[in-house]
């Protein structure tokens, strides 16, 4: 499984959506139920999957699918 596939799988599981829903509009404003608890669940799963520990500012930044990819790039995770 590629890193992108791993990330997509996490998003699909956390938000109960199909992979086709993941696009540049998939963000906190447009996705129902994207609250802070869901966001922490997302970052926690990402940390486990990629064996990283996100800084607080990066957890705060996890407010969209695109942002998530940008944050992972900061941790040298190629997608």
Q: Which residues bind another protein (CB under 8 A)?
A: 44, 47-48, 51, 53, 55-56
Q: How far is the CB of 10 from another protein (least distance, A)?
A: 15
SS3 sequence of 31-58: CCCCCHHHHHHHHHHHHHHHCCCCCHHH
Q: Which residues contact 34 (CB under 8 A, 6 or more apart)?
A: 15, 27, 28, 63
Closer to another protein at the Cβ: 44 or 67?
A: 44
Shortest separation between residue 53's beta carbon and another protein, angstroms: 5
CB of 40 to another protein, least distance (A): 9
């Amino acid at each position: 499984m590629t890193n992108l596939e791993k990330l997509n799988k996490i998003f699909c599981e956390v938000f109960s959506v199909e992979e086709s829903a993941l696009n540049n509009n998939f963000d906190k404003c447009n996705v129902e139920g994207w609250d802070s608890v869901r966001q922490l669940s997302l970052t926690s799963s990402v940390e486990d999957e990629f064996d990283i520990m996100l800084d607080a500012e990066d957890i705060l930044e996890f407010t969209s699918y695109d942002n998530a990819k940008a944050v992972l790039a900061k941790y040298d995770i190629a997608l």
